[in-house]
A and B are shown apart, each in its own frame.
Chain A
């Protein structure tokens, strides 16, 4: 257990927990609304902000936050204005952000050693500034979900009905996407823009295999997030392999376990859905 005595490991575990809280709260909405790939697009487009921050010399996570929110609003607005174009927009934003990031990094003189860590994550490089940023973002996320929880579930369950009962569906949807963007900013430190999508969705997807309501799914998602990040750090330390992929391996392995477990009712009892029409 000497691993815990190193300062950078302590930081790593701490950001792991902070990230688990954020993605444990937001992930279930992403999974239920089936917008995982919208999340992936926001994550990749944030790379543009990271590149810009390198070029101008400020904290890359600030750049990532600005770009991810802009792309969230962009995708949301385009998919509202041009229905049936959401898919292509997601793809466009995905690549556009990466392209912008690469151009800025090419223009930045010198060698960007830790750039790789923004692409694939390196939880061991977590600084105190990163932790403070993560705490602030968590406070924003928790407060927002506390205020808007029922509105989020309403637009996820039935957008049209929400619309005809005078709920401001579009602004609320955009706001949810902004919270997804902020969550992604925290996750970038841990698994990087390329692997974010797994950590955003897998804790929630795993929790949803044996829970039926949002509050329980959120609780279990946070626990699974903590499990995945912590186990990933230990694996990374003992096997001397990069932390990001170890966290993803753990997450996918556990998720697959629960999926397979669901096939056998003894291990995890999934509610049997009655037949659609006649009974």
Chain B
């Protein structure tokens, strides 16, 4: 088996002292993985992503991404953030936004060239919204905006795509297309997706990590209700929502 692209060992992290949000995390992600991270709110999902992206530094433990420090590996990563935080009034077009994906590789005064525009066109066509390239971001629907952010990540030709709660504000039909799109992307890149939409995630990923301060990693086929109970600490309300039990038993 090839080397893992992400290796995390004994990772701990706390925003405030002695109140760990992540504890003793071990995780390996491989180049063709499609990993779903689930867990309750406040369980540390986004925090873990931020550590992998080098936005936060772990208090203890080692994190290697593509055998480098997280910050140095950023060029190989495409990131699709939670999109609640984005200002829809911002006067930028879809094309502008997608090109922002490769802006970090440009020098000042250096313009986007034909090749950059071609990459943007490719990315937009891949997610099937090329016809919207001149629209302002606020004019799009939730599902369309989702695709813009994915195109912005894909223009970087990433070897790892990270998505944080991507299905939060899209409708059911867009969601189905969305998973098809991710499977297509997974042919060339590893994917890590964070979600609390447990029901859908099982059907699509090949590895599941349950995160609630501590992390339990499984093949998608071997997940049991005990594992979930341990993650969610018997929080029936979260579990009962959107997770039919028969799906679990059958697997």
The smallest beta-carbon distance between B210 and chain A, in angstroms, is 25
Partner of A271, one of B53, B74, B139: B139
Chain A residues, Cβ within 8 Å of B99: 150
Q: Is A275 an interface residue (CB 8 A)?
A: yes
In angstroms, Cα B138 to Cα A32, docked, is 13
Residue tally, chain A, CB below 8 Å to B: 35
Known contacts A147-B108, A275-B141; A161/B91 CB under 8 A: no
Q: Is A164 an interface residue (CB 8 A)?
A: yes
Chain B residues, Cβ within 8 Å of A156: 90
In angstroms, Cα B170 to Cα A279, docked, is 10
A158 near B171 (CB under 8 angstroms)?
no
Known contacts A165-B74, A165-B156, A208-B91; A279/B100 CB under 8 A: no
B91 near A163 (CB under 8 angstroms)?
no
Chain B residues, Cβ within 8 Å of A249: none
A residues 25-71 in Cβ contact with B at 8 Å: 28, 32, 34
A277 near B100 (CB under 8 angstroms)?
no
Interface of A is mostly: helix
B170 near A277 (CB under 8 angstroms)?
yes
B142 near A277 (CB under 8 angstroms)?
yes
Chain A residues, Cβ within 8 Å of B55: 160, 163-164
Q: Is A157 an interface residue (CB 8 A)?
A: yes
Q: Is A81 an interface residue (CB 8 A)?
A: no
Chain B residues, Cβ within 8 Å of A167: 103-104
Give the contact stretch, choosing among B79-87, B179-187, B198-206.
B79-87
In angstroms, Cα B156 to Cα A274, docked, is 29
Chain A residues, Cβ within 8 Å of B93: 212-213
The smallest beta-carbon distance between A276 and chain B, in angstroms, is 6
A residues 135-171 in Cβ contact with B at 8 Å: 146-148, 150-151, 153-154, 156-158, 160-167
A161 near B139 (CB under 8 angstroms)?
no
B99 closest partner in A (C-beta)? A150
A213 near B156 (CB under 8 angstroms)?
no
Known contacts A147-B109, A153-B92; A165/B101 CB under 8 A: yes
Q: Is B61 an interface residue (CB 8 A)?
A: no
Chain A residues, Cβ within 8 Å of B89: 32, 208
Q: Is B169 an interface residue (CB 8 A)?
A: yes
The smallest beta-carbon distance between A98 and chain B, in angstroms, is 31
Number of A-B contacts (CB under 8 A): 96
Q: Is A273 an interface residue (CB 8 A)?
A: yes
In angstroms, Cα B162 to Cα A160, docked, is 13
A153 near B171 (CB under 8 angstroms)?
no
B97 near A157 (CB under 8 angstroms)?
yes
Q: Is A214 an interface residue (CB 8 A)?
A: yes
Known contacts A212-B91, A214-B92; A161/B100 CB under 8 A: yes
Q: Is A217 an interface residue (CB 8 A)?
A: yes
The smallest beta-carbon distance between A83 and chain B, in angstroms, is 11
A161 near B152 (CB under 8 angstroms)?
yes
User: Chain B: interface residue count, which band?
Assistant: 35 or more
B residues 86-121 in Cβ contact with A at 8 Å: 86-93, 96-97, 99-106, 108-109
B103 near A165 (CB under 8 angstroms)?
yes
Chain A residues, Cβ within 8 Å of B156: 165
Q: Is A278 an interface residue (CB 8 A)?
A: yes
Q: Is B75 an interface residue (CB 8 A)?
A: yes
Q: Is B192 an interface residue (CB 8 A)?
A: no
Q: Is A108 an interface residue (CB 8 A)?
A: no
Known contacts A154-B100, A158-B86, A271-B139; A32/B91 CB under 8 A: yes
Q: Is B136 an interface residue (CB 8 A)?
A: yes
Q: Is B140 an interface residue (CB 8 A)?
A: yes
Chain A residues, Cβ within 8 Å of B136: 212-213, 271
A164 near B91 (CB under 8 angstroms)?
no
In angstroms, Cα B169 to Cα A32, docked, is 23
In angstroms, Cα B92 to Cα A213, docked, is 5
A28 near B91 (CB under 8 angstroms)?
yes
Chain A residues, Cβ within 8 Å of B141: 274-275, 279
Q: Is B22 an interface residue (CB 8 A)?
A: no
Chain A residues, Cβ within 8 Å of B85: 160
B52 closest partner in A (C-beta)? A164
B81 near A161 (CB under 8 angstroms)?
yes
Q: Is A250 an interface residue (CB 8 A)?
A: no
In angstroms, Cα B108 to Cα A233, docked, is 39
Q: What 0/1 pattern do residues 242 to 279 of A give for CB contact below 8 A with B?
A: 00000000000000000000000000000101111111
The contact sample of 11 A-B pairs, CB cut-off 8 A, is: A32-B89, A32-B91, A34-B87, A153-B92, A157-B92, A161-B100, A161-B152, A163-B55, A166-B74, A279-B141, A279-B171
| B interface residues with partner A (beta carbon < 8 Å) | 53-55, 74-75, 77, 79, 81, 85-93, 96-97, 99-106, 108-109, 136, 138-142, 152, 156, 169-171
Contacts A32-B91, A160-B85 known; list 6 others, CB within 8 Å: A147-B108, A212-B139, A213-B93, A271-B139, A273-B139, A279-B141
